[in-house]
Every structure is written in C-alpha cells, then in structure tokens.
A = this chain, B = another copy of it.
Amino acid sequence: MSSSSAAPAAKPPMRDALVAAAFRLFLDRGYEQTTVDDIVALAGVGRRSFFRYFPSKEDVVFPDHERCLADMTAFLAASDEEHEPVGRVCDAARLVLRMYAENPTFSVQRYRLTKKVPGLRAYELSVVWRYERALADYLRGRFAGRPDGTLRADVIAAAVVAAHNNALRSWLRSGGEGDASVTVDRALGYVQSAFGRPSVVAPEGQRPEDVVVLVSRRGAPLWRVVQELESALGRG
C-alpha cells in the first residue's frame, strides 16, 4: 500500500465494547448459542444501543467492512487518468488487507468462526461481492468505450479479489503470523502480470537499453511466444 485513503475514523467505545463482548461469547459458547441479549448483558448496555450500531447479530462479526467499503469507494473515486487501472484496483484491494492486518488476533478469531458457521460464510460472500462490484464499477468506467470493456472490468475485478483472498486466507490460516502484505503483493503481482502493466525492473546486471530480438513463426501459439519472450527478458 501507499498513498491516500482516510485514517480510520475514531470508533465509539460502546461499539468496541459490544464487539468485544460478542466475540467473547461467540468463542466461549458458539455463535448460534449467543443471543443479542447475551451480548448486551455482558457489555452492560441496552438492546437499543446494540441495534444503533449493528442491524443484526451477523453485522457485529464484521464490524469494519462498511467503513472499508466506503474507504475503497472514496479511494477509487479519487483516481485520475494517470493511475494505471489494474494497479489502482490492486491498491484498493490492499485497503481490505490493511483492515485485517490492523488486528491480527481478531481477524484470525473471526476467520475460524466464519468457517464454522454457514450463515456467516453467506454473509461474507455478500461482502466480498460488494468489494468486487466496487472494483468492477471503477474499471468499467476506465474501460468505457474499449471493446469488451465491461467483460475486462468484471474479469479483472474477480481476479484481483480472488488473488487478494487467496493470500489473505493463507495468512489467516497461518494464525496471522508474518507480514501479510508480502503475500498479498505477490498474489496481486500475478494478476498484474496477466492483465496489467507490470512494474518491470530490468534484472540485475542488465542495462535497460539491452536489446532482445525474438523470431517467431506466425502460426506459433501465443502462449509459447510469450513464454519465450519472458524468458528472453529474464522474467520467466
């Protein structure tokens, strides 16, 4: 990550207390076995306070996604023509990673909880879908007028989300050890190499003005030619 996006908004202490109480109960006695009444009793507040912050019990499991979706939308809206579009949606995806990485213990607990409760997995799928739509909508704007613009936008958005989630899940499975951003950068780099403009640096010891000549039969499969090309350029 780099640049922009607002600092996390200050969170009201009561909201934090509700999340903490909810997770203590979810981990102790299970998600299904915990009621909103149990949560407010432990947090020492009334039911109305709960519903002021969270529309439902499911929402307390994912307390930061709405803020993160808003951050992502704002980040993409603040883009200009100078931003290479695929790189830009990769940076937008890194906002989600940052939310998880801000609190590894909580993120890992939630990951384990979500895996066990089908209703939470369904909720998570709908959140992931909203992130994917935010990325796709931005790309559709950038690709407007290009042939197959919406197709490219949808496919690249899906690929970015899948790469991000592959890396995020492997970090969560490891118990939140190590630097998640290294894994995510590598995963997003794969998507950029397939669809975007990779940020190419000439390999060590090769001057950038070195010249590569590639000779190919016209009938050769493109994948073979690109493979040769990557290898000739030292990026295989």
| Chain A residues numbered 215-236 whose CB sits less than 8 Å from any CB in chain B | 215-226, 229-230, 233-235
Are A194 and B195 neighbours in the complex by a CB distance under 8 Å? yes
Are A217 and B222 neighbours in the complex by a CB distance under 8 Å? no
Interface residues on A, range: 35 or more
Are B219 and A202 neighbours in the complex by a CB distance under 8 Å? yes
Decide yes or no whether A93 CB sits under 8 A from chain B. Answer: no
Decide yes or no whether A163 CB sits under 8 A from chain B. Answer: yes
Are B166 and A162 neighbours in the complex by a CB distance under 8 Å? no
B residues less than 8 Å from A180 (CB atoms): none
| Chain A residues numbered 138-158 whose CB sits less than 8 Å from any CB in chain B | 148, 150-152, 154-155, 157-158
**Selected interface stretch from A10-18, A104-112, A185-193:** A185-193
Are A223 and B198 neighbours in the complex by a CB distance under 8 Å? yes
Instruction: Give the complex CA separation of A229 and B223 in angstroms.
Output: 11
Question: How far does the Cβ of A197 sit from chain B's closest Cβ, in whole Å?
Answer: 5
Are A209 and B202 neighbours in the complex by a CB distance under 8 Å? no
Are A217 and B213 neighbours in the complex by a CB distance under 8 Å? no
Decide yes or no whether A70 CB sits under 8 A from chain B. Answer: no
Question: How far does the Cβ of A183 sit from chain B's closest Cβ, in whole Å?
Answer: 9
A-B contact pairs, 5 of them (CB 8 A): A155-B190, A158-B161, A202-B218, A214-B215, A229-B229
User: Residues on A close to B: CB < 8 A?
Assistant: 121-122, 125-126, 129, 148, 150-152, 154-155, 157-159, 161-163, 165-167, 170, 186-187, 190-191, 193-198, 200, 202, 206-226, 229-230, 233-235
